[in-house]
Structure 1
Amino acid sequence: MDSDANIPGSAKPTINDIARLSGVSKKTVSRVINRSPLLNEETRKRVDDIIRETGYVPNPQARALALRRNFLIGLVHDNPNAQMVLGMQQGILSVLKGTEYELIVRPVDRGSTTLVADVRSFLERQRLHGVVLLPPISEDDGLARLCDELGCRYVRMGSAELDDAAHMVASNDQDVVHEAVSYLIGVGHRRIGIITGPTGFRSAWERRQGFERALADAGIAVDPALVVEGSYRFESGLGAASKLLDCSPRPTAIFASNDEMASGALHAARRLGLDVPADLSIIGFDDTAIAAHIWPPLTTVRWPIVEMGKAAARKLLAGTIDAQPEVPGEALFLSQLIHRASVAPPK
């Protein structure tokens, strides 16, 4: 329970003041603060009104002891896409602003044999209110079961729906990549390369499936020489695009599975004296700041990562004093193809 005490000379209201003014016990006030279901609505409203009128601020340490949880939201990731991690942080922090909750970020090694034990130790040590799991570790059902076992709220982010709506924020990667590659085909490209994401990432698989579906729908066979794996980093896009542009005949367009790699592809083209988009069209994915700042500005897929971060935070805070009482049902977030200057019909 909250255990603020009256301090002589202090004008700050205490939990004892709230109990006296509300005509209830200190324990009842604590139950209202901690959103206990063991209260009738009339009592809850009376105490809430007094709290609001007096400007009483509960002691977070005492509340944490009562709830056996800290007012912390965890963001756990092993993701080389720094812009995606930053976008998710931005979305979460915008929801936490003005609440008692803080964000703590924990990188992990998805290849470690002690991954689950490491995450267990983190959750138990920090006593988190909830955690957001980013891909690819969000695709590990064992981590979701661990959160359930420890009584820690969780939301998984993915490129496809992996869980029920209360535990999921997902994007439609496969469909929007199908749209992007179909756009390239529609302006006349037939020899199209792809720089995929790294093996083991669901996003890489979904985006490649969208690429292959678009080619199949247009009656174009996938040329294995035009499929090169990247790591979601600039350098890998530069190297992968160099391999693609060494092909004979070379591709007239490249779809890169994120903007970092797309910008690497643009540099590879410039090194060879190729003009983008006259000699080579390029499409990326994410719509990070780099997409609008490079030249030519990059046609790309706008991933609603900040909105997904906001939704994840709202799901974790649902039912608390700081959030809407209902669990938001939004789980699927639609990405959008943004047309800029890096695509043109082939020569």
Structure 2
Amino acid sequence: MEGSSRRPTINDVARMAGVSKKTVSRVINESPFVKEDTRKAVQSIIRETGYAPDPQARGLAFRRSFLVGLIYDNPNPQHTVSHQQGLLDAMAGSGFELVVRPVDRTSPRLLDEMRVFIERQKLFGVVLPSPVSEDERLAALLQDLDVRYVRIGSVALDEPGRMLVSHDGKGAAEAARHLADLGHTRIALITGPASFRSSVERRKGFEAGLAERGLNLDPALIKVGAYTYESGVNEAQDLFALEARPTAVFCLNDEMATGVYTAARERGLRIPEDVSVVGFDDSPIARRLWPPMTSVRLPLRDMGRIAGEMLVPNPLRDKPKVQPDIQPELIIRTSTAKAG
């Protein structure tokens, strides 16, 4: 509303577009029962006027709050922060707000606590990143409560409209081929907990990539970490104490790979001259270490944004540009080199 300090209302948008308030409301909530030219005209006026729906009024009208929940249980805080940033990107200008809720997915009270949380907040929708996304009971609860949700996971676990797949195994296979092509044959693997589907899929992908090059993992060089820095240090210390130590280490996340850096320096080993190191996620720490770390990139912020676009109607977007699958990419830096 140029020249006026008054906030534009839905009535203003309807008048300027020459449509009813109901039509504007349908456009805002992405109803399929609106002609495309009408939708574009209303969206254009919304952008021009800067109109933003009142979440409280909309909540009363729909008997739901305009809140989206991010429910997570992950030992890697960067994962959650990146997903959160992406969700906020998708929700900008939509009138929706984000509620972040940590949980213990092993708790026997998880479902009861989630039912109370969702009903009390009257959530419009929920985003479930891994490993919470792998809990079929939680997905069933959301369906029972008639709450929209999107699951983020390494493999497809649900209907396409509710699932964002990251294909972790493909990225791990690329890391395996990279190390094999550098001439490494004595390659160690530090996995995450077996209870994480991402750990299972990444290991399977890594082994498949090695098999393509005619290599197998030596069981003595497989260690189980906890997706934490400390576990990376501890498991790498054991690996580097072996008489025939590995010339390369692949970790299933960057936190553990950072721990490998520490253990290598404690042992007097140089990266990459004495041991090559590869991580997974390509979190900010990968670029800040010295030497910068080769890592499989998952665009975590983009994943949060896409999940948000799948979930939340936004009048400032012409249409959600849904990309249900994410393709990982190996980012090669100077922590890997040819085997000596």
How many residue pairs match? The answer is 336
1:21-42 deviation digits (Å, cap 9, x = unpaired): 8998877776666566777889
Structure number with bigger Rg: 1
Query: 1:229-244, aligned counterparts within 5 Å?
Result: 229-244=224-239
Choose which of 113, 129, 149 in structure 2 pairs with 1:118.
113
The percentage of aligned residue pairs carrying the same residue is 51
Query: 1:195-234, aligned counterparts within 5 Å?
Result: 195-234=190-229
Choose which of 326, 331, 345 in structure 1 pairs with 2:338.
345
SS at structure 1 position matched to 2:249: strand
Which piece of structure 1 moves more, 198-207 or 18-27?
Answer: 18-27
SS at structure 1 position matched to 2:291: coil
Distance in 2 between the 1:321 and 1:268 partners?
51
Cα separation, partners in 2 of 1:50 and 1:339, compared to 1, 3 Å: closer
Distance in 1 between the 2:215 and 2:233 partners?
26
Q: How far 1:84 moved relative to its partner?
A: 1.0
TM normalised by structure 2 equals 0.88
Q: How far 1:217 moved relative to its partner?
A: 2.8
The one-letter code sitting in structure 2 at the alignment partner of 1:346 is: A
Distance in 2 between the 1:115 and 1:237 partners?
29
Name the counterpart of 1:96: 91
The one-letter code sitting in structure 2 at the alignment partner of 1:334 is: Q
The reply on whether 1:332 has 2:317 as its aligned counterpart is no
Which piece of structure 1 moves more, 61-70 or 159-168?
Answer: 159-168
Which structure is richer in relative contact order (CA contacts within 8 A, separation 6 or more)? Answer: 2
Distance in 2 between the 1:208 and 1:25 partners?
56
Cα separation, partners in 2 of 1:52 and 1:204, compared to 1, 3 Å: closer
The reply on whether 1:257 has 2:263 as its aligned counterpart is no
Residues 52 and 94 of structure 2 are in contact (CA less than 8 Å); yes or no, is this contact kept in structure 1? no
Name the counterpart of 1:148: 143
1:181-205 deviation digits (Å, cap 9, x = unpaired): 1111111111100110112101100
Residues 43 and 315 of structure 2 are in contact (CA less than 8 Å); yes or no, is this contact kept in structure 1? no
- RMSD of aligned Cα (Å): 2.8
The reply on whether 1:161 has 2:161 as its aligned counterpart is no
Unaligned runs of 5+ in 2: none
SS at structure 2 position matched to 1:110: coil
Cα separation, partners in 2 of 1:25 and 1:153, compared to 1, 3 Å: same
TM normalised by structure 1 equals 0.86
Moved over 3 A (4+): 10-59, 320-326
Name the counterpart of 1:5: none
The one-letter code sitting in structure 2 at the alignment partner of 1:71 is: F
Distance in 1 between the 2:300 and 2:246 partners?
30
Q: How far 1:57 moved relative to its partner?
A: 4.9
Cα separation, partners in 2 of 1:324 and 1:294, compared to 1, 3 Å: same
The one-letter code sitting in structure 2 at the alignment partner of 1:302 is: R
Distance in 2 between the 1:316 and 1:65 partners?
20
Query: 1:70-109, aligned counterparts within 5 Å?
Result: 70-109=65-104
